[in-house]
Amino acid sequence: MDTSDTYSPSLSVAVVYSDPPDLIELETRVATRQWGGSARAYDSPDSFRRQALTLESWCRHLKGEAVVEAGADTGIGWSRLRFYRTDNAGHVVCHVTLATGGLPSNYRRTEVWRLSLEFQTEAGLVEQFARSLRLKINSLNVPAVLKGVIG
């Protein structure tokens, strides 16, 4: 597996705004060799921390799927990271769905930009990412980064 910076996909999530104790704004960025995008979304620190803990736990068993989500696909901004195994050998992927936000209340549905892509990674890398998400939730502009692999 290759995780070189030149070709491997990467994902980063950083808290870019905080209004303790109820609100954080997260910026999610994803890049692959051909595609990339970013979106901002809101969540509560407690909810996001619980999701990171769930993802950490999921990495130890690799059963079903784990989802880390902030915001909603309603024009306010959305980030959805879905992790699951693709086979019995334990290959793991991250399916990223992003939607832009910050639109006026009378926006048209087609004004929201959406990106959906998937990349392969490894359970150990996902576990490090989940731990980083949990620990950096109180640090502004310090991203948690997940590297993908090219098989």
List 43's β-bridge partners, or say none. 24
List pLDDT tens digits, range 7-43: 789 999 999 999 989 999 999 999 998 899 999 999 9
pTM of the model: 0.92
Predicted local distance difference test score (pLDDT) of residue 60: 94
Please, is 113 exposed, middle or buried when counting C-beta atoms within 10 Å of its C-beta (0-12, 13-18, 19+)?
Answer: exposed
**10-147 belongs to CATH 2.60.40:** no
Average pLDDT by consecutive 10-residue portion of the chain (151 residues)?
68 96 96 94 97 97 96 92 94 96 81 93 97 94 95 69
Helix (H, G, I), strand (E, B) or coil at 83: strand
128, 148, 25, 138: which is closest to 79 by C-alpha?
25
